[in-house]
Amino acid sequence: MSKSQVVTLRMPAELKRRLEREARYQGVSLNQLTNYLLTIQLTQLEMISDLENRLAQKSLADLKGKVRAMLAKVPSREVADWDVLE
């Protein structure tokens, strides 16, 4: 089991009430719900930061060229009437 640490977090009272209400609804503790939500949000932020960092090292012209090359490999075919954008 991983070690845990206690963190005191200040938040608006309304946000705490919402978290408590949702934790009750989900049948979990406030601590479990808060850890879950923080983990999900932090993971998303880390992924965005990593993507931004990787894109910053590329040129727009190079990226457009790669997209064009990928699209050129897609076979052309008839589009069904129900799937046509107007």
Phi-psi region of 6 (alpha: psi -120 to 50; beta: other; left: phi over 0): beta
State the Cα–Cα distance between residues 30 and 16, nearest whole angstrom: 9
Domain ranges within the chain, ordered by starting residue: 13-73
pLDDT at 27: 98
Q: Please give the pLDDT value at position 33.
A: 98
Res 35: pLDDT: 97
Q: How far does Cα 22 stand from its chain's mean position?
A: 21
What pLDDT was estimated at residue 86?
81
Q: What's the pLDDT at 2?
A: 76
Per residue of the chain (86 residues), give pLDDT as tens.
678 899 999 999 999 999 999 999 999 999 999 999 999 999 999 999 999 999 999 999 999 999 999 999 999 989 899 999 88
